[in-house]
């Protein structure tokens, strides 16, 4: 199996070498890089075979050989290699441990490492089975269960204060005993509270005490867990208790003067805080904006103005009172529909217009409103005010419009919505130029276009010569690995007709900013390597790859 894996790795190096030769034979002016799918599949198959050999060696206890193979694996799979090294360490420690508690600890760490390994294999799209290692773990676990059945059973007694406040102090006391009540002195008992772990040593009579300060958390009860890890003589045990918190829960009542509004409209929000404290702070949040109101007194109605965001649809307004000591926070959610008000627009325009000259547009709206409308003809835009539903504007017909019908559109601007379009016949004086001049200009334009077409065809021929290669030195292999990760995250596949720069623009906004910046930098380094054959910093490339893979 070792020989087969090394042969596969050799095949991979041959494929990559041929690809490098192909790349360096391409013209330096060509600006497109593509990754053929057949090469990608071949690489995945070879790498999968190699790592399957590593897994098989681990499962039969050949840890030295497995570690050697991991150290020789491609650096672009650094996360996978690190995980395999940790897995080998945990398995070796598990098999070499004589203490039952250490065995259980390393069994837990081995399972965690295997779960991470499973996710990494899926992420890298490698076809590797972990069944041999799970078979080994089942045998180890059966041995641990047999060993535990021969130990002396233990139990933990635990007592905690039954009532306290958020941020207050509690004392946890208890005893570690055998099943028949014999105290166990000088053993470690572990206590977990709110996902934090603490340890305490039992006294000469098997008792323990732990003083803790609770965080400022507002829940009615918290679970405390005390557990004892097994030794070579005593079995492990576990018990739980509850801590009940005592605090005041205020209430907020809030309402809006309307549940529908347009973008940017200001609404009136009324709220009242029912609480026992004074000088409270209330925060009002809507979309990405927030308003803070201080010195809020209890049982008093307050009014404030909130501005609706420029995003249509249902928007939530959250009114929250901040906590104070044993006064919990409170919040209420209101919903407002941000929308437009529809408007019908009618306008009059001349039957025909002359390109380059002004003309007047008159119109009205129903229902009547005071606001603005946008008039567009060609690429020209004109904004004008609407007063009591009436508007009038002088527009210049673009001189570039051709002879024939051209649309004129009038659109209402927020908070109103509505558009009307009419066609107007445009006369362009350039259409009256003598036919000889027109013919000359047409000939000149067509000749220039023919030259441009030939240039474009020549460019496409050059591009076509570069569409079937893969860049496989360490920089390029890092880019390929990053590309595979980005495809998984965004579900955007690298097509044969994409450039690397085009693909980078395609995934913009579909991954978080840190990953995008790292991928953008790696794409730039990849292009430098292709077009200029620069000697680049491999350490920087590996750091960028870690960010993308994280």
Return the CATH number at 184: 2.60.40.1930
CA 22 remoteness from chain centre: 37
The answer to whether residues 93 and 184 belong to one domain is no
Which residue, 210, 276, 280, 285, is CA-closest to 241?
A: 210
Read off the pLDDT of residues 31-69 as tens digits, 9 standing for 90 and up. Answer: 444 556 666 677 888 899 999 999 999 999 899 999 999
The answer to whether residues 81 and 137 belong to one domain is yes
Read off the pLDDT of residues 185-203 as tens digits, 9 standing for 90 and up. Answer: 999 999 999 989 999 999 9
Tell me whether residue 460 is in a domain: no
Count the helix, strand and coil residues of the chain and give each as a percent rounded to the nearest 5: 40, 35, 30
Tell me whether residue 21 is in a domain: no
358-366 and 341-342: which strand pairing?
A: unpaired
Q: What is the mean pLDDT of the chain?
A: 83
The answer to whether residues 43 and 130 belong to one domain is yes
| CA–CA dist 292, 270 (Å, integer) | 14
| CA–CA dist 196, 282 (Å, integer) | 31
The answer to whether residues 490 and 396 belong to one domain is no
* pLDDT for residue 41: 75
Q: Could you list the residue range(s) of the whole structural domain that residue 350 is in?
A: 342-430
Return the CATH number at 406: 2.60.40.10
Beta strands in 127-258 (DSSP E): 154-160, 163-164, 169-178, 188-193, 196-201, 207-213, 221-228, 237-245, 251-256
| CA–CA dist 51, 84 (Å, integer) | 10
188 in Cβ contact with 198 (< 8 Å): no
Q: Which of 121, 150, 179 is the last residue of a domain?
A: 150
317 in Cβ contact with 334 (< 8 Å): yes
Tell me whether residue 131 is in a domain: yes
The answer to whether residues 231 and 159 belong to one domain is yes
The answer to whether residues 130 and 48 belong to one domain is yes
- Predicted confidence band of residue 399 (pLDDT cuts 50, 70, 90): confident
| 161-165, 411-415, 465-469, 536-540: least confident range | 465-469
The answer to whether residues 94 and 40 belong to one domain is yes
Tell me whether residue 41 is in a domain: yes
416-427 and 341-342: which strand pairing?
A: parallel
The answer to whether residues 266 and 220 belong to one domain is no
Structure letter (DSSP) for residue 166? T
Tell me whether residue 439 is in a domain: no
Q: Which of 90, 124, 150 is the last residue of a domain?
A: 150
The answer to whether residues 214 and 267 belong to one domain is no
Tell me whether residue 13 is in a domain: no
The answer to whether residues 140 and 224 belong to one domain is no
202 in Cβ contact with 237 (< 8 Å): no
Tell me whether residue 408 is in a domain: yes
| CA–CA dist 200, 193 (Å, integer) | 14
The answer to whether residues 416 and 501 belong to one domain is no
pTM: 0.44
* pLDDT for residue 165: 86
Q: Can you tell me the mean pLDDT for 246-262? A: 92
The answer to whether residues 169 and 235 belong to one domain is yes
- Alpha carbon of 111 to those of 52, 84, 114: distances in Å? 18, 12, 5
Which residue, 207, 334, 224, 219, is CA-closest to 270?
A: 334
Tell me whether residue 22 is in a domain: no
Beta strands in 355-415 (DSSP E): 358-366, 371-377, 380-386, 390-396, 404-412
Work out how many domains the chain is built from and give that number.
5
């Amino acid at each position: 199996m070792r020989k087969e894996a090394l042969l596969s790795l050799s095949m991979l190096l041959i494929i990559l070498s041929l690809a490098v030769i192909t790349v360096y034979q391409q013209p330096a002016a060509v600006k497109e890089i593509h990754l053929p799918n057949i090469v990608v599949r071949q690489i995945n198959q070879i790498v999968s075979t190699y790592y399957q050999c590593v897994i098989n060696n681990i499962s039969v206890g050949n840890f030295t050989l497995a570690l050697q193979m991991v150290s020789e694996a491609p650096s672009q799979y650094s996360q996978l290699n690190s995980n395999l090294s940790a897995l080998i360490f945990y398995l070796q420690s598990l098999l070499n441990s004589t203490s039952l508690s250490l065995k259980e600890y390393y069994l837990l760490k081995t399972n965690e490492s295997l779960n991470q390994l499973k996710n990494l294999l899926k992420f890298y799209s490698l076809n590797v089975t972990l069944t041999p290692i799970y078979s080994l773990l089942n045998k180890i676990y059966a041995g641990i269960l047999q060993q535990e059945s021969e130990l002396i059973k233990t139990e933990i007694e635990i007592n905690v204060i039954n009532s306290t406040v958020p941020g207050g102090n509690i004392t946890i006391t208890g005893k570690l005993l055998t099943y028949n009540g014999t105290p166990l002195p000088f053993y470690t008992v572990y206590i977990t509270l709110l996902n934090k772990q603490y340890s305490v040593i039992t006294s000469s009579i098997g008792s323990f005490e732990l003083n803790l300060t609770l965080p400022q958390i507002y829940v009615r009860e918290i679970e405390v867990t005390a557990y004892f890890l097994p030794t070579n003589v005593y079995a492990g045990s576990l018990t739980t208790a509850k801590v009940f918190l005592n605090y005041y829960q205020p209430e907020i009542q809030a309402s809006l003067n309307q549940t529908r509004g347009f973008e940017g409209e200001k609404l009136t929000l009324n709220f009242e805080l029912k609480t026992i404290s004074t000088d409270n702070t209330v925060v009002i949040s809507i979309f990405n904006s927030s308003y803070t109101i201080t010195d809020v007194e209890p049982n008093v109605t307050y009014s404030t103005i909130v501005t609706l965001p420029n995003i249509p649809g249902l928007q939530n307004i959250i009114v929250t009172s901040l906590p104070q000591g044993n006064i919990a926070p409170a919040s209420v959610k209101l919903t407002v529909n941000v929308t437009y008000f529809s408007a019908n627009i009618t306008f009059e325009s001349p039957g025909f217009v002359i390109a380059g000259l002004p003309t007047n547009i008159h119109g009205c709206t129903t229902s009547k409103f005071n606001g603005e409308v946008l008039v567009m003809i060609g690429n020209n835009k004109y904004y004008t005010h609407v007063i009591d539903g009436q508007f009038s504007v002088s527009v210049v017909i673009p001189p570039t419009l051709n002879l024939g019908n051209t649309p004129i559109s009038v659109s209402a601007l927020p908070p109103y919505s509505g558009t009307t379009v009419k066609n107007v016949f445009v006369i362009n004086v350039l259409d009256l130029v003598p036919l000889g001049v027109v013919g000359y200009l047409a000939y000149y334009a067509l000749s220039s276009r023919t030259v441009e077409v030939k240039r474009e065809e020549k460019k496409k021929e050059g591009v076509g010569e570069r569409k079937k290669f893969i860049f496989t030195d360490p920089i390029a292999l890092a880019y390929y690995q990053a590309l595979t990760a980005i495809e998984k995250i965004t579900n955007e596949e690298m097509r044969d007709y994409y450039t690397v720069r085009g693909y980078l623009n395609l995934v913009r906004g579909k991954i978080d900013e840190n990953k995008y910046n790292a991928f953008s930098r790696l794409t730039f380094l990849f292009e430098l390597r292709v077009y200029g054959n620069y000697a680049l910093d491999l350490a920087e490339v590996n750091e960028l790859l870690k960010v993308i893979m994280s």
